[in-house]
Structure 1
Amino acid sequence: MTIGVSMGIALAPQDSTSANDLLRYADIALYQAKQSGRNRWVYYRQDMSEKLTERRKLELALKTAIREDQLYLVYQPRYNLRHSRIDAVEALVRWQHPERGNMMPDQFIPLAEETGLIINLSNWVIRKACTETHEKLPGLSVSVNISAIEFQASDLAERIKAILDETGLEPTRLEIEVTENVTLSNPEKTLQTMMALKKMGVRILIDDFGTGYASLSYLRKFQFDGLKLDKSFIFSLGDSTQNQSVVEKIIDLGKAYSMEVTAEGVETVEQLSFLKKNKCDEVQGYLLGKPAAIADLNLKNNHVIY
């Protein structure tokens, strides 16, 4: 058994002569130690109080945003190369903060995970995506990103089923995107949740493939419906034939496991031509369409052959 320890340290009289203040400052430093990776000690600094105060303000603001619909979704099309049409969109959450302006997911999703707000946030995103897709995007599927932490929730499948029933979206038109890391934490629970979702008809995609730690055995065990190749591989296609060979092999790997392969980050006609030549199933990126609000979503590329 290995026991780890994190410590926060406040000093008298440098930091304060008040016992209550010293305890509070040490607690703030302890929080910073845990945030920095645990198993370490951190001395209190005045700027830590300011950062913690700002973090708590942001947490309260996020609670309000979820409750009062300050969040909104944008959608990015996914183009099917085999059928030469757009057949799905990816829903991406944004936050119109009253003071900070438009905020991207990486500015508030980690906070939601740390504070437990991720469940309420995910519920909002899934419900909104299902509602808008059902009402305004007939015939298209929608994918929603779920974090590895959220995927461990024991009631995830039940919550998604309730939302599908409520919104009227067919389960086969909903796709859940997870990163490779979801296979590492409690794999048996992860597999159980995946099977429950797949039994409903919901598809499971492995996102940003190639940047995590998934092994071939996990690909076989978890039976993902689709694989989304990380954009870094697409950006480097023109750098060398070796990079091209890697992408070819990943496409072949996905097909060997009966997964639909999507290339992310496609921005040039040359990239698109290479992927089409190597029988990649779908592509997504600025060449096909930038993320946009549903009212501004450009689906004119539907049925267009590049």
Structure 2
Amino acid sequence: MLFRTNALDDRVGKTLVDNLYTNPGSLTAGAANGIIAALVAATYAANPVIWNVAILLSLIGVARVAMAYGLPRLQVRDTRWLELLYELGAFSFTATVGVFAALTIWYEIPLIAQMLMLCFAIGYGAGMATRNAGRPVISVTGMVLTFTPICVALWSTGDLAARTLAVAILICFLGMVSISMQIFRTLRDSIGAAETSARLAEKMQQLARTDVVTGLHNRAGLNHYLVDHLSRRRDETRTALFWFDLDRFKEVNDALGHQIGDRVLNEVAQRLRSQAKVHSVIGRFGGDEFILACDVRDRREVETIALALLAEVTRPMRLDEDRLEISCSMGVAILPDDGPDLESVMQGADLALYHAKVNGRNQVSFYDPSMSRDLVRRREIEAELRVALQRDELSIFFQPIVDLATGRIRAFEALVRWFHPEKGELRPDEFIPVAEETGAIITLGNWITAQAAKAAAAWPDDVTVAVNLSPLQLKAPGAALGILNALREARLPPHRLELEITETVLLDHSQQTEDFMAELSAAGVKFALDDFGTGYSSLGYLNKYPFGKIKVDRSFVSGPNVGKKSDAIIRAVSGIAASLDMEIVAEGLETIEQVDAVKAAGCTLGQGYYFSRAVPDYLAAMLLAQERDATEPNRAAG
């Protein structure tokens, strides 16, 4: 019962054995002292038996030291085998020490030699009690093998002092057993506590690296396991990184609730697991984005995997009574083809994902070096755009919108221009998308509205100004209040401002959009539906929102598909607009033939190079002045 062990005791013993073989210094010192003491004591006795035992003790001591230093170098990993060898050496040495000390008493060699061996034997046995406390069976057995022959020899002399010493050694043995067991329990408790702490730390680390919704790696876990995966990658192996983004996932959360949204994420995670290759690393990067990395042979295999993953993720899913069709965009980059390290490949996959979304979503895009060049360009534009707003490098130009019946200017559309001091004029399609991506469009849009309102305040009262709005502007906090403040500062009546909104803004059916338009419409601001016919055109928009004008896209006027069908569409839209008391603007007019065609089709207003390009504010004022001057003589003549 005393030496019954459990798994923890075995681990304590393993720690002892490891320590014995990794730090053999004390074993070497004990063996050296024993050999010296035995050889010195043997010189005092002209007895071949004692000399033979002394030599045997020396050989065992040398063998133990040799094993202590030699076995680790042989890389012996079997702990039980190492422990058995240690026990064999320890028991052999302690038994020989005990027998040798008993023989010095039995053969009554000089007293000083007896004292030398008795002191060494008792000290060595006591030392074993503490040194081998991690394995009580070794500690106690070693003391028994050392002390028993000595006590028997002392008792057999019949001398009172010798017998008293034998009893004292026995009492010392019992005390050292108690000390040994106490040390063992302390070691066991310490190692047990350390193991518990290590398990808790490992569990906490695992939780810190796991996404609670899907059970996949989270961002921290992804980084850890991707680094580990790549560190074990062979030089000739390619690693593909697939970056997923669920398209318009926010609509699922808004329409069905976050619980359904979490179930969708979990279902996507299960599908990725089912399609992934063995040893793939899969994680949820955040929100509705997932990353999968796996080793591949070549680009052809990457394409096959990408298409299979996209098909699996976008396969319709049924949650309770809801049938959901989730589209997905994917960006792919390959290491080392697209970058030498994890950071560059992740950046490449992210750029490819961006292009997949920009190009229409629900598709796979592979990284191309030109994407990095575009990124550098966008970052330059982003940084310079913020500075440009401060340095007044931006200007507002105005393009007239003309009444097709009278030829008079009814409004101007405000268009931003950027004249860079080094790069010259930058096209709006270069910096407007960057402004939208970075959120700078909110600041830029508010500035455009304020500048346009100031310019329009100097025009005749019957001329309005039109300003395009970005979707981000509509959703920005206090957007409506910001526009009303700009009108108030410019002293421009609200009915002289017209805000142009594209159909894409209305797709998400946002309550914010409805509230924004309702608040401004109540104040008198007008709204126009821009680029009608290019996207998800719906007549429902005309009924639901307070639009007073429709702008027919230039593709119906001057595009390659202009003909009977486009003319019929313009006529149909014009008829609907007329019945709703709305005006129709034809964009992109460049020739008199186009002007006549759209006028005949029912358009009431026109805009394009035929009438005028966009001009600075002072030229816009000049156009209005010339127009007024030309009409005054006619009125006087009449």
TM range (shorter): 0.7 to 0.9
Q: Which moved more, 1:224-233 or 1:30-39?
A: 30-39
Aligned to 1:144: 467
Across the aligned residues of Structure 1 and Structure 2, the Cα RMSD in angstroms comes to 2.8
Matched-pair identity in %: 34
Query: Which of 593, 607, 612 lines up with 1:289 in the alignment?
Result: 612
Q: How far apart, CA to CA, are the structure 2 residues paired with 1:7 and 1:286?
A: 40
Check the 8 A contact 1:26/1:44 in 2, yes or no: no
Higher relative contact order (CA 8 A, sep 6+): 1
Amino acid at match of 1:99: E
Counting only pairs closer than 5 Å after superposition, residues 127-142 of structure 1 correspond to structure 2 as: 127-136=450-459, 139-142=462-465
Structure 1, residues 257-293: CA drift from partner, whole Å, max 9, x if none? Answer: 3321111112222222233334422111112111111
Structure 1, residues 154-199: CA drift from partner, whole Å, max 9, x if none? Answer: 3211110111111111111101011111110233321211111111
- The yes-or-no answer on 1:11 pairing with 2:335 is yes
Q: Which moved more, 1:26-35 or 1:289-298?
A: 26-35
The alpha-carbon distance between structure 1 residues 73 and 193, as it changes in their structure 2 partners (threshold 3 A), is same
Aligned to 1:195: 518
Check the 8 A contact 2:351/2:372 in 1, yes or no: no
CA apart distance, 1:82: 4.4
- The yes-or-no answer on 1:33 pairing with 2:338 is no
Check the 8 A contact 1:8/1:28 in 2, yes or no: no
Aligned to 2:225: none
The alpha-carbon distance between structure 1 residues 82 and 187, as it changes in their structure 2 partners (threshold 3 A), is farther
- The yes-or-no answer on 1:72 pairing with 2:391 is no
TM-score (norm 1): 0.87
Q: How far apart, CA to CA, are the structure 1 residues paired with 2:366 and 2:584?
A: 48
Check the 8 A contact 1:71/1:96 in 2, yes or no: yes
CA apart distance, 1:99: 2.3
The alpha-carbon distance between structure 1 residues 11 and 272, as it changes in their structure 2 partners (threshold 3 A), is closer
- The yes-or-no answer on 1:251 pairing with 2:574 is yes
The alpha-carbon distance between structure 1 residues 23 and 67, as it changes in their structure 2 partners (threshold 3 A), is farther
Query: Which of 201, 204, 210 lines up with 2:533 in the alignment?
Result: 210
CA apart distance, 1:218: 2.1
Amino acid at match of 1:155: G
**SS in structure 2 of the partner of residue 144 of structure 1:** strand
CA apart distance, 1:212: 1.5
The alpha-carbon distance between structure 1 residues 7 and 228, as it changes in their structure 2 partners (threshold 3 A), is closer
Q: Which moved more, 1:122-131 or 1:77-86?
A: 77-86
Aligned to 2:432: 109
**SS in structure 2 of the partner of residue 185 of structure 1:** coil
The alpha-carbon distance between structure 1 residues 28 and 276, as it changes in their structure 2 partners (threshold 3 A), is same
Q: How many residue pairs are counted as aligned between the two chains?
A: 300
Q: Considering only CA atoms, is the larger Rg found in Structure 1 or Structure 2?
A: 2
Amino acid at match of 2:616: A
CA apart distance, 1:141: 0.6
Q: How far apart, CA to CA, are the structure 1 residues paired with 2:546 and 2:618?
A: 35
**SS in structure 1 of the partner of residue 595 of structure 2:** helix
CA apart distance, 1:48: 5.1
CA apart distance, 1:37: 2.4
Check the 8 A contact 2:549/2:583 in 1, yes or no: yes
**SS in structure 2 of the partner of residue 212 of structure 1:** coil
Structure number with higher strand proportion: 1
Q: Which moved more, 1:22-31 or 1:110-119?
A: 22-31
- The yes-or-no answer on 1:231 pairing with 2:554 is yes
Q: How far apart, CA to CA, are the structure 1 residues paired with 2:380 and 2:613?
A: 32
TM-score (norm 2): 0.44
CA apart distance, 1:121: 0.5
Note the residue ranges of structure 2 that are not aligned, 5 or more in a row. Answer: 1-263, 269-288, 291-329, 632-638
Aligned to 1:61: 384
The alpha-carbon distance between structure 1 residues 104 and 10, as it changes in their structure 2 partners (threshold 3 A), is same
The alpha-carbon distance between structure 1 residues 137 and 37, as it changes in their structure 2 partners (threshold 3 A), is farther
Amino acid at match of 1:11: L
Q: How far apart, CA to CA, are the structure 1 residues paired with 2:406 and 2:378?
A: 47
**SS in structure 2 of the partner of residue 193 of structure 1:** helix
Q: How far apart, CA to CA, are the structure 1 residues paired with 2:562 and 2:353?
A: 40
**SS in structure 1 of the partner of residue 571 of structure 2:** helix
Structure 1, residues 113-170: CA drift from partner, whole Å, max 9, x if none? Answer: 1001010100111111111111356542100011223222232111101111111111
**SS in structure 1 of the partner of residue 422 of structure 2:** coil
Counting only pairs closer than 5 Å after superposition, residues 264-283 of structure 1 correspond to structure 2 as: 264-283=587-606
CA apart distance, 1:237: 10
The alpha-carbon distance between structure 1 residues 134 and 245, as it changes in their structure 2 partners (threshold 3 A), is same
Amino acid at match of 2:376: T
Q: How far apart, CA to CA, are the structure 1 residues paired with 2:355 and 2:564?
A: 40
Q: How far apart, CA to CA, are the structure 2 residues paired with 1:84 and 1:54?
A: 42
Check the 8 A contact 2:552/2:587 in 1, yes or no: yes
Aligned to 1:165: 488
**SS in structure 1 of the partner of residue 392 of structure 2:** coil
The alpha-carbon distance between structure 1 residues 223 and 23, as it changes in their structure 2 partners (threshold 3 A), is same
CA apart distance, 1:23: 4.1
Amino acid at match of 1:182: V
Check the 8 A contact 2:555/2:561 in 1, yes or no: no
Check the 8 A contact 2:356/2:364 in 1, yes or no: no
Query: Which of 114, 117, 124 lines up with 2:447 in the alignment?
Result: 124
CA apart distance, 1:232: 1.3
The alpha-carbon distance between structure 1 residues 107 and 35, as it changes in their structure 2 partners (threshold 3 A), is same
Amino acid at match of 1:194: M
Q: How far apart, CA to CA, are the structure 2 residues paired with 1:81 and 1:14?
A: 55
**SS in structure 2 of the partner of residue 88 of structure 1:** strand
The alpha-carbon distance between structure 1 residues 45 and 236, as it changes in their structure 2 partners (threshold 3 A), is closer
Q: How far apart, CA to CA, are the structure 1 residues paired with 2:592 and 2:336?
A: 64
CA apart distance, 1:206: 0.5
